[in-house]
Amino acid sequence: MTIRYDDKVAIVTGAGGGLGRCHALELAKRGAKVVVNDLGGSVSGEGANSSASLAVVAEIEAMGGEAMAHGANVADLSQVEDMVAQTMARWGRIDILVNNAGILRDKSFSKGTVDDFRLVADVHLMGTVHCTKACWDIMKAQEYGRIVVTSSSSGLYGNFGQSNYGAAKMAVVGMMNTLAQEGAKYNVKINALAPTAGTRMTEGLIDDKAFALLTPETVTPAVLFLVSDEAPTRAILAAGAGAFAVAKIVETEGMWLPEAEQTPEGIAANWSQISEGGERALQAGFEQSIKMIGQAAAGLGLDMSQ
């Protein structure tokens, strides 16, 4: 079955180039009406220029699709709200939101400034919050929504010189985990993309041969799947060079310690059992509480059913 988005309206942020442009073009090829959002700034977040987003709109229109450009800075809620209002005025619905906009201010934690950290967090985290918030109630009311947040291996696993970027990229996963629960009964699904792509944000950081493999076109199929009718929810889908994998946050089974051993020394003595074995992905925060209460009850010989 071919996945299509006929009669669907999609907003793609940071869509003037790189991954965002590829996402927007492929959504349009499969029938979506697309809002091409791009501030048109530099990789480090400076300046603004509408030419890139207008060029993508022209590409979509040349293939017979429908699109509009909007230059909202995602870090500014009022600009995002204007983008959503214009989208609703033109097409009357918003079905798909791809949070892709981002900047880099790569420096070691010692050399980076707090202002750099705040700016990166404002774009990646708060930009995602602003766009998702502006679309959320619309999607709930129409009982249909597909949202992608863009995470990164830098957030999931760490990357030297990217503490600001990594922090923001992990934060959007935490947001996704909760919104997947809140959106479930309204058919609003939200997932995370962890892409590896050769774009202007990674140029110079990756070997030329590897860079040639990491095209945006090899990542976009992951987005197309995550915003489809039959998409999962709360998945972290890694993609790059045509390879795909799911990242999972897991927790060990752990163990209960008797009161006398509930000390740092007790933890140290039992560290191997606490830190290894029984890893599983929990589906909600309360599952951790239930597990630990159960272990404590078993250790104390308590019957929690009464």
Active site residues: 165
Output DSSP code: residue 143: T
Q: Is 1 helix (H, G, I), strand (E, B) or coil?
A: coil
Q: For residue 127, what are its two tokens?
A: 């930009």
State the DSSP code for 29: H
Question: Taking the CB of residue 287, how many other CB atoms lie within 10 A of it?
Answer: 13
Strand partners for 244: 239
Taking the CA atoms of 182, 183, 189 and 192 in sequence, report the sign of the dihedral they define.
negative
3-state secondary structure 191-258: EEEEECCCCCCCCCCCCHHHHHHCCHHHCHHHHHHHCCCCCCCCCEEEEECCEEEEECCCECCCCCCC
Whether the CB-CB separation of 172 and 125 falls below 8 Å is answered with: yes
Between the alpha carbon of residue 152 and those of residues 53, 149, 291, 294, 302, the distances in Å are: 24, 10, 29, 35, 44
Token pair of 131, please? 């766009």
CA 267 to chain CA centroid, nearest Å: 35
